[in-house]
Amino acid sequence: MTQSAHRARRPRAARLSAAAALATATACVLAAAPSALAVARPLPTPVLPGQFFVGLVNGQSTLADILVVCDGSTGHPAAGQTFSARQLSAATDASNGFTGTSAKTLAVEAAGDAGTVPVQLRTYGESSPIPTSLPLPCSGTGTVAFTPAPSSVSAVSAVVKVTYVSVPSA
């Protein structure tokens, strides 16, 4: 092969090499896409009638801690804590809830916080802050109820057992 023939082939070989590299990179991205989608957070979905759900306090469906800033025997939740709910395909235990025939909202209330306006959850998959104005005990255990609203005969509240943990004020 002459020197000029060798030079004429080189650009074509370089083009093929670049095309192969692009095809390989595209294949890697497409192969990784399903696994990336599998770990993505689900999109928020509305609370509607006929749904099973679990309540979450700070991401936990049972034995959740609520940090309470105390100056005596009662205090208020520390900032940065949340209530949320996750839809279930079926009930998995007695602490799960059911929206019944009418609910489009979950009213969230800690036991003993009578007189306060409950947190309203309208979607699954989105967190709502625990109000820092909520009066809570500085220690002990309690429950947080996620009550379907409006209620119906078939509606069942989800209940999360919580422990109140006293923390010093910042």
Q: Could you report the per-residue pLDDT of 125-169, keeping only the tens digit for each?
A: 999 999 998 989 999 999 999 999 999 999 999 999 999 999 988
Are 49 and 8 within one domain?
no
Are 102 and 76 within one domain?
yes
Are 51 and 134 within one domain?
yes
Beta bridge partners, 107, equal: 120, 147
CA-wise closest residue to 134 among 165, 112, 159: 112
pLDDT, residue 19, reads 46
Peptide bond between residue 34 and the one before it cis (omega within 30 degrees of 0):
no
Are 50 and 7 within one domain?
no
Are 70 and 55 within one domain?
yes
Are 13 and 56 within one domain?
no
Average pLDDT (71-100) is: 92
Mean pLDDT computed over every residue of the chain: 81
Are 105 and 137 within one domain?
yes
Are 63 and 81 within one domain?
yes
Tokens found for residue 23: 């095809």
Are 51 and 35 within one domain?
no
Interatomic CA distance for residues 100 and 149, integer angstroms: 9
Q: Which residues contact 140 (CB under 8 A, 6 or more apart)?
A: 163, 164
pLDDT, residue 97, reads 96
Q: Which domain holds residue 101?
A: 45-167
Q: From residue 146, give the alpha-carbon distance in Å to each of 2, 18, 57, 61, 102.
A: 82, 58, 10, 11, 15
Are 74 and 1 within one domain?
no
pLDDT digits (tens, 9 = 90+) for 8-24: 555 555 544 544 444 44
Interatomic CA distance for residues 150 and 152, integer angstroms: 7
Q: Say if residues 51 and 106 touch (Cβ distance below 8 Å).
A: no
pLDDT, residue 4, reads 52
Are 25 and 78 within one domain?
no
Interatomic CA distance for residues 62 and 79, integer angstroms: 20
Residue 112: band (very low, low, confident or very high) from pLDDT cuts 50, 70, 90? low
Domain count, the chain: 2
Tokens found for residue 95: 């602490």
Are 58 and 139 within one domain?
yes
> Model-level pTM greater than 0.85?
no
pLDDT, residue 31, reads 47
